[in-house]
Structure formats: structure tokens, C-alpha cells
Chain A
Amino acid sequence: MRKYQIRLICMLFITVLLFKNEIVVNAQSNFNSYTYDEWNESMAAPASYRPIAVKNGFQIGSGAWNTPQDFFMDEDGHLYVADTGNNRIVVLDHELNLIEIMETVQKDGEAISLEDIEGLYVTKNHVIYAAQTSANRILVIREGTVVRTIEKPVSSLISEDFIFSPTKIGLDIYGRVYVLSKGCYSGLLQFDVDGSFMGFFGANKVEVTAQVVFNYMWKSILSDEQRAAMTSILPIEYSNIDCSKDGFVYTSTVGTQLPKSQIKKLNPLGNNIYYGAGKSEFNFGDEEFFYTKGKVNYPSFIDVKVDGNGFIFAVDLTSGRIFERDQESNLIAVFGGTGSQSGTFTTPVAVEVYEGKVYVLDRLKNNITVFVPTEYGSMVERATILYHNGLYDESSEVWKQVLKRNANSALAYNGIGKAYVQNGDYTNALAYLRYSGDKYSYSKSFGKNRLILVRQYGPYVIGVVAVLAVIAAVKKQVKKRKGRKI
């Protein structure tokens, strides 16, 4: 037995020596990776992203940060971190090296400190829009000088007692400014290029829960005074904004009663156009919830970011996970989690994407985590991009590679199946679509396949039936005649 073991160890050793260059050791990540199957049950999946760097203020060289509330990555890969507690903006490059620390800016000839910056946006020309929440204004900073401010707009739409406390800012491709103001339930404030107020944009709707229905019922009975004493039902505020390159505004929502449509894609009319299959509302985050003290912990998304390929990244404060979905609401990746190891967070507040890398800012840990896609993760993304561009055959090849790494990937089955449908190979298409959970596509190709089968074998079946009918008729006639004779 012992001899056997020694031999085995030697063999393993030799194998390792021989294939040394080909063995890539991938340490297990500190968080669970999974996908959801057809029945919304989680299934293990390979990790799609892995953390490559975790850096705090000390490691970067700017001194410790204090509750940073937001950061923004501009198109040149400069990362602007709003170090809110220290009243400054720290500028980093995309490898997290320190470029600049902004502590004061010039305004009307005098230096003012950057107090209480909760939201940032930086344009192509390095013009910084900084939301000074407690000062109720937005500073527009160009090269260290405040060129203008956006303050509480004067409009018939806005009441006297409205408090303008901007938290997050987004600029769309036309230069219009979308501002999220604390305690404002009417939606985003929309400003024109010249800074004039245009109106409110895309308010969240009130969710119909049991309590809402109950309140509505009571309010129809009660008097005005009693009604005024009741809690008023307000829609939930947005938590963050992101403007994509194709001109849509994406919003995230924190703490809802129902976890549907927490990530919205607003068209220029302010209507949500981000839906699941068959125009249904869906959970952007987890399908399986966890409970604390008998209460469900629904996901609450604190930030959303869309990359150049239309992949939507959103950070869930509840589970500390980052969910990535494509424009058709397919779950591409789940990574991160709560904890203290690398790749996990305590209070994530913001997410940014630059050249495939995902940056996550943690408010309590005061650090930034950088994730890169793994081989598997980048493969799924590549296949999805090919698929959305209509290159079904090319994407099918990549999906097959994905399937070798994750046999649970419904997306891969769907991609391959659709490629077969494209080529008219319905038998193979059905075999793959069977596992994709996409009943609609399965039904379509099943119908096509059925038609082919009927056309192929239908004539023979009809022929055989006709022959049998003729034989039966003849036999009957023969019997009749025989009977007559007797």
C-alpha cells in the first residue's frame, strides 16, 4: 500500500513537472459565484470576475479617506473620488496611482473648500460637476475654478419649501444635467445645457403593496382631517443615476417593498424601458432572498453603471454583490459579497467600469476594489456581444467553450440553440433550447420542426391510410356480394 502511495506521489510530481507551464492555478475566490436556472434556483457557476487590487487611501498615497460617497471614471481613465469626510476630491489613474488631490477651488476670486461632496460627474473636457449636498448647490469646476453653479431652480413646478440637496449627478450625451435631490419624490431634476431648469424626469411609481391598498380603502372613507393625519404614501427615491452613451438614463433604487424593476432604463420621455422576457418586470438582483429575524432582505441597489457594450452593473447594498446583466436582462455575472476579505465589501457605494475592469468603492472600508474578468467571465461577455450583434455562428462557437466550463449556463444553451435555429437545424436547436428555459423560442422551433416532419412523412401516412380505407371498402363490398349470393 505504501509503495503504491509513493508511486502515485512520484507520478503526480512528474506530471506537474511536465505540464508546469500549462497548469494555471486559480485560487478559489472569497465569494460565491452562481447563476439562476429556469426555476429561479441558484446554481454554482465559475467565477466571472476576480479582484486584482484592493487599495485604500494610505496605499495610494493620499492619506486615509473618510467615508467617500462617490467616484467617477472619465473617458481617459481618470478616477475622481469624492473623499466626502475629508472635504476633497482625489484624482487617480485607472491603475489607482495618485495624480492629484483637490482640496480647494477658486470661486469668484477666492478659494473655497470642497465640503460635503456626495456626487461627481466629469465630462470629456475634464469639467467636474460636484454636488455639494449641504450647501444646496452643484459646482461646475474647470481647471480648479468654479465656472458656474447650479442652485435651487426657480420654477412654478418647485414649491417654496423645497430643499435642493443634490446628491448624484449625470450628464447625458446632449449635455443635459440630471440631478438627484435628497427627499425629492418627483423624480430627477433635469437642467438644460445652459443650466436652466427643464422639469422633473421619470419619477418612481408607488408600489402597490397590501398596505397601500389598505390605506387607499381607508382614505375613501375617512374625513379630510383624518386623512391628513395618516402617513402619506410616496414613491421610493432613486439612489443613483448613470447616463449611457446611447442617450438613456439608468437609475437604481434602494430599499423597495417589491424587488421588481429596481434598475430602470429611462427613455427621453422618462418611462422605463428595461424589461425581462415578454415585457415583464423582473428582479435585477437575487431571486433567492435571505431572511433576518423573519424579515426578507430584498436587494437594494445603491449604484448603477453601464459600460460601452451595454452591460449594466449594479451594486446591491444588502448582499454586497455586483450584478451584471445585458440589455435583455440576462444575468451575465454575479460577484462580490459581504465580508472583510479581498473582493468583498461592508458598504459598497459606487461602481465604475473602465476597459472591462470593474471598480467598487467601499464607504466604510474606505477603499477601492478592482475586479478583472476571468477567462470564463470574458468569454460570456464576448459571446453575448457577438450574439447581440447578430453573429450567431461566431457566438455559438464561444458559447460552446462557455458550456465546457459551466454546464449550468442557460445563456450558453440559448445562444447555441438560437444559432442552430438561424441555420434551420431545428433538431439540434431543440436539444439545446430545451435547457435554456426559453420556452418561447423552444415553442417556435418546435412548431417549425413539426411542420418539416409533417411535410416529410405526412404524404406517406395519408397514403397508407387511403390504401387501408380502400381495402376495407373492397372487403365490405365483397362480403355484401357473398351474402347476397347465399
Chain B
Amino acid sequence: MKDKKTATNPFYTIMHPFDCSYDIRFKNKGNIMFSVVILLIFFLVSVFQRQSTGYIFNDNKLSDLNTPLKFVGVVLPFSLFVISNWVVSILFNGTGRFRDIWIYSAYCCVPYIIGTFAAVLFSNILVMEEPFGEYVRIFGAAWSLVVLFIGLMVMHEYGFTKNVFGCLCTIFIMFIMFFLIMLVGSLASDLYGFVMTIAREIMFRAS
């Protein structure tokens, strides 16, 4: 009973990365729904961070909130990471499946989410000379990264050095994919402009 609880509980995951990563990969104990919920919370917290960080630490113009952009800002890097890590794992004989990487990466966001949330709360009671909230956030981020690193190592059955190399490759591929997305986007907008110009021209001629 207790064993079943472990892998579905993100709070347990962040304390026991070795066990949970193993469970998710080899005992099919991850929960997709849970990962989606975590990502949703991540998105909400990122909005919360933008809007509710105390005035002293908040340089954003509150009236300029763009929620879709925030959503993309959370989901796009996450998806890019998971996809590129999966691609790298295929190249380097990693044993992790796409589903496992996705679930485990989502679980790993939890310390960062908690840290960010705490930082926002702290920022509302601290003054400029006390950047304690920022430390909490950095601590959360570091925790997330360490847990993620360990988990991927176990999941893909890599050694330490191979995993470091794999992670670097993942980041590299993320950049390439990001670049391609930008490129496709700009080309698409050019194409759209071209088609629109022709359409307008035809309309002028026709009338």
C-alpha cells in the first residue's frame, strides 16, 4: 500500500528521487493527470508571481499582464525539454520513455513552484535590504535541478558523466528547436504577409 503511494505523490518524489524515478520507469507508477495538474499550478504560480510579488521587488507593470504568454512561457520550455531529452535518450541508449520523462520532469517542478510561491509571500513582508525571498526561490530551483538530474540518471540507466553529457546535449537541442520555432514563425508571418498582399492586389484589380 505504501509502495503504491510513493510514485504518485510529488512530495515524496522530491525527497526520494532515486526510488521514485525507478518506480515511474520500471513499475509504471507515474500519473499523467498529476503531472498536468502540476504544470497548471506552475502556470498559475508564475502569474501569481508576476502580479502579487510585493511592490518593492516587483518591476512589472501590473496592467500589462499577458496570461497566454505566461502559459506559453511555462509550457513551451517544459515541452521542449522533455522532447529534446527524449530525443537524446534515444540517441544515447537511454531507457526512459517519453511518458516517464514527462511525468518525472513535472514532479521535479514542485520544489521550484513551492520556492516561488514562498518568495512571493515573503516579498510582501520584506524590505529591499532583505532579499530572503529570492534566496528561497533559488534554493527551490537548485533543488529541482538536482532532483531532475538524479531522476534522469536512474531513468535512463546512465552513469554520472554520461548523464551530464546527455543534459548538455538536451540543452543544446532545446536551443536548436527554439531557433527553428522562431524561424518557422517568422517565415510563416512573411508568408502570411505575402499572401495577404496578393489577395489585396487581386481585390483592387477585380474591383
Q: Chain A interface (Cβ within 8 Å of chain B)?
A: 38-39, 41, 434, 439-440, 442-444, 446-447, 450
Contacts and interface: CB of A to CB of B under 8 A. Distances in A.
Contacts, number: 20
Interface in B95-132: 125, 127-129
B56 interface: yes
Contacts of B128: 439-440, 443
Majority secondary structure of chain A interface residues (helix, strand, loop or mixed): helix
A466 B56 CA distance: 33
Contacts of A38: 61
B135 interface: no
Contacts of B129: 443
Nearest to A448: B127
B55 interface: yes
11 contacts: A38-B61, A39-B61, A434-B55, A439-B128, A440-B128, A442-B56, A443-B56, A443-B129, A446-B127, A447-B127, A450-B127
Contacts of A439: 55-56, 128
Nearest to B57: A439
Contacts of B56: 439, 442-443, 446
Nearest to B60: A39
Contacts of A442: 55-56
Nearest to B129: A443
Interface in B146-203: none
A38 B55 CA distance: 12
A454 to B, nearest CB: 10
B127 A444 contact: yes
B128 to A, nearest CB: 4
Contacts of B61: 38-39, 41
Nearest to A433: B55
A476 B44 CA distance: 41
Nearest to B124: A446
A456 to B, nearest CB: 15
Most buried by B among A41, A434, A439: A439
Contacts of A440: 128
A444 B129 CA distance: 9
Interface in B25-80: 55-56, 61
Contacts of A446: 56, 127
B134 to A, nearest CB: 14
A450 B55 contact: no
A38 B125 CA distance: 22
A90 B108 CA distance: 79
Given A450-B125, A450-B127, 8 more contacts: A434-B55, A439-B128, A442-B55, A442-B56, A443-B56, A443-B128, A444-B127, A446-B56
Nearest to A444: B127
Residue from A434, A446, A450 whose CB has the most chain B CB atoms within 10 Å: A446
Contacts of A41: 61
A213 B58 CA distance: 34
B120 to A, nearest CB: 16
A427 to B, nearest CB: 14
